[in-house]
Structure 1
Amino acid sequence: MKTVNISHPLPAGIIAENAGPQIAALGQFDGVHQGHQSVIRSAVKLAQAKGVPAAVVTFHPHPKDVMKKGNYEGNLTPLQEKQELLAAMGVDILYVVDFNESFSQLSPKAFVDGMLLALEIQTAIVGFDFRFGHKGEGDAEMLRALGAGKMNVEIIPPFELEGQKVSSSSIRKALQAGELAEANRLLGHAYRLRGVVIDGDKRGRTIGFPTANLRLEDKYVVPAKGVYAVRSLVEGAWLSGVMNMGVKPTFQDGVTAPSYEVHLLDFDRDIYGQNLTVELISYIRPERKFPSIQELIAQIQADADTARRILESSK
């Protein structure tokens, strides 16, 4: 998949290099959840039938982050994660639109004429609730009207699971409530965190459970504090582990920023400075304070055993 960073107005070079018949799914697609997948797969299927590239047009940074509005608490899928998921779905071109204050003022017509039609998008495929242009005044029907005679528009209906509409907001709420199974069900894949392994206080090693302490690479939606069964991509291999995400109340008070500590099962190599991708597979329990180090150690061992059972059964 080719990634093309674009901004308005489109430079002549970008148009020359990328314009041509193509089918494009338009949207923020934060999470690339099952609803988003229905839109993107429609674009890929149509593009393959017509023998043209399948494209996705998305926006970065997240508009809610730029405009400081609404309930933005971070990304479900930062850009790198989104790129990997889209590539796996068969997308040929990812257009990443620079969303800034100036772009937020753009009229729906200017967006369609200056970007979509300039790139010769034959068909734009959008979800039923797609909004665009200044103050979100453009919707799917306006997109159809603005493209009349030049660009077809297909509108994909809501995607539902057991009568529930799948949405990024419902996934955020599920993660924050500790309902990981529900979040992963709506996503259609395991929720992931990615970061670099940094030096910690090394307390885990002294009690027999060394951990990889992560500094997250992006602003993520933070799940509920607690202990999770996880799989971690380490040096090209997926390894089983258990992650504590929280403030370590047994050892410290007054801390509000969570830490991310991953104990990899049956692993004891130095991976400081390496990047780690962590898939959250199952929520084991909430974080709590223990009256003694011995009780904490016993609970960590029980958590590791629980994680091992869960991960073995989910293979």
Structure 2
Amino acid sequence: MQIIPIRHPYNSEQIPEDDVVMVLGFFDGVHRGHQKVIETGKKIAIEKGLKLAVMTFNQHPSIVFQKVLPENMKYLNSLEQKERLMANLGVDILYVIEFTSAFAHLAPQEFVDQYIVGLHAAVAVSGFDYTYGPKEIADVAHLPGYANDRFEVVTVSKEELAGVKISSTRIRDLMEQGRMEEVTELLGYVYETDGTVVHGDARGRLLGFPTANIKVKSTVRLPRVGVYAVKIQVGEKWHVGMGSIGHNDTFGEGRELTVEVYILDFHQDIYGEQVTVSWNHYLRDQIKFDGAENLIVQLKQDEQDTADYFLKKTR
């Protein structure tokens, strides 16, 4: 997959000359609703013998429109994760547009002329709720008028589960409740976060449960605080573990939020490794224990519950 970063105004020499099927959206999560839109574009691209292109943004539009600080945005996918998911869906070209003030202030017709026609779209594919400016003048219903017969417009209806629209908002709400199996169902894959293994306070090692302390970016959306049955990828191999998101209140109030994974049957030092954690199943909430002994008893139970969960999954 070819990844083309674009900063407005772009140089036309950056743009491949061939016509494409262009899929439009922000695609946070690349969930099953997004996948339906991209797969529709892929099908059309195959039928027409064209490449499949997707246009997304490097950051959420609210950073410009609502003045949200970039470090305070919480995404379901990092850009790197989004790129991996797009490649797996068969996307040929991924345009990553820098969402700046200059880009944001394009009039709808200017956006269409420069970023759909200008990027050689023979067909523009989007979800039913896609907008490219003020909703009342820049929704999918207005797109054929702006197209002026220069490209075909295809609108994909909403994807539902249990009669409710699949959306990034719905997924975020479920994550806040720890309902990770439902998150998996809506995404079409197990929710993952990337990070780097860093040194912690080594307290887990003293308890007999040495953990990998994982530093994640501030923009990563984590599931709710609690203990989880997880898998962690180290190098090319996935391992079973129990993951913790919390403040370790047993050892003092007001501690920094940490992400830790105790990897079952694993005895390697992995400091500095880039890892991926998949959040498969919520086990329990964080508990403040009276002391280390009670914590160890609970950790042993968590370890057994984690092993049982994945054993049941393989049956």
> What range describes the TM-score normalised by the shorter chain of this pair?
over 0.9
> For each residue in 1:40-59, what CA deviation from the matched residue of structure 2 results, as whole angstroms up to 9, or x when unmatched?
00011111111111111001
Distance 2:215 2:252 in 1: 19
- Give 1:134 shift: 5.7
TM-score, normalised on structure 1?
A: 0.95
- Give 1:180 shift: 1.6
> For each residue in 1:276-297, what CA deviation from the matched residue of structure 2 results, as whole angstroms up to 9, or x when unmatched?
1000000000111011211101
Equivalent pairs counted in the alignment come to 311
Distance 2:46 2:210 in 1: 49
Report whether the alignment pairs 1:47 with 2:45: yes
- Give 1:8 shift: 2.1
Which residue in the other structure is 1:62 paired with?
A: 60
Give % identity: 38
Distance 1:312 1:216 in 2: 28
Distance 1:228 1:96 in 2: 33
Distance 1:214 1:137 in 2: 45
Which residue in the other structure is 1:224 paired with?
A: 224
Distance 2:182 2:199 in 1: 33
Structure 1: which amino acid aligns with 2:288? K
305-314 or 245-254, which deviates more: 305-314
Give the 3-state SS of the residue equivalent to 2:249 in structure 1: coil
> Does the CA-based 8 Å contact 1:178-1:283 persist in structure 2?
yes
Which residue in the other structure is 1:280 paired with?
A: 279
Give the 3-state SS of the residue equivalent to 1:126 in structure 2: strand
Structure 2: which amino acid aligns with 1:23? V
- Give 1:148 shift: 2.6
Q: Structure 1 residues 138, 244: CA separation in 2 closer, same or farther (over 3 Å shift)? A: same
> Does the CA-based 8 Å contact 1:20-1:119 persist in structure 2?
no
Q: Structure 1 residues 266, 158: CA separation in 2 closer, same or farther (over 3 Å shift)? A: same
What are the equivalent positions in structure 2 for 1:194-273 lying under 5 Å apart?
194-217=194-217, 219-255=219-255, 257-273=256-272
Which residue in the other structure is 1:130 paired with?
A: 130
Give the 3-state SS of the residue equivalent to 1:230 in structure 2: strand
Which residue in the other structure is 1:291 paired with?
A: 290
Distance 2:273 2:222 in 1: 22
Report whether the alignment pairs 1:172 with 2:166: no
Give the 3-state SS of the residue equivalent to 2:250 in structure 1: coil
> Does the CA-based 8 Å contact 1:104-1:134 persist in structure 2?
no
Distance 1:247 1:44 in 2: 44
Give the 3-state SS of the residue equivalent to 1:138 in structure 2: coil
Give the 3-state SS of the residue equivalent to 1:238 in structure 2: strand
Structure 1: state its 5+ residue gaps.
Answer: none
- Give 1:196 shift: 0.5
Q: Structure 1 residues 159, 22: CA separation in 2 closer, same or farther (over 3 Å shift)? A: same
Distance 1:66 1:127 in 2: 23
Q: Structure 1 residues 210, 137: CA separation in 2 closer, same or farther (over 3 Å shift)? A: farther
Distance 2:232 2:116 in 1: 39
Distance 1:73 1:182 in 2: 23
Report whether the alignment pairs 1:305 with 2:304: yes
Which residue in the other structure is 1:184 paired with?
A: 184
Distance 2:254 2:17 in 1: 55
Structure 1: which amino acid aligns with 2:99? F
Q: Structure 1 residues 136, 259: CA separation in 2 closer, same or farther (over 3 Å shift)? A: farther
- Give 1:135 shift: 7.3
- Give 1:218 shift: 5.2
TM-score, normalised on structure 2?
A: 0.95
Q: Structure 1 residues 165, 95: CA separation in 2 closer, same or farther (over 3 Å shift)? A: same
Give the 3-state SS of the residue equivalent to 2:277 in structure 1: strand
Which residue in the other structure is 2:9 paired with?
A: 9
Distance 1:214 1:134 in 2: 40
Which residue in the other structure is 2:158 paired with?
A: 158
Distance 1:4 1:193 in 2: 24
> For each residue in 1:120-161, what CA deviation from the matched residue of structure 2 results, as whole angstroms up to 9, or x when unmatched?
101111001001136784111222221131111111111001
> Does the CA-based 8 Å contact 1:105-1:134 persist in structure 2?
no
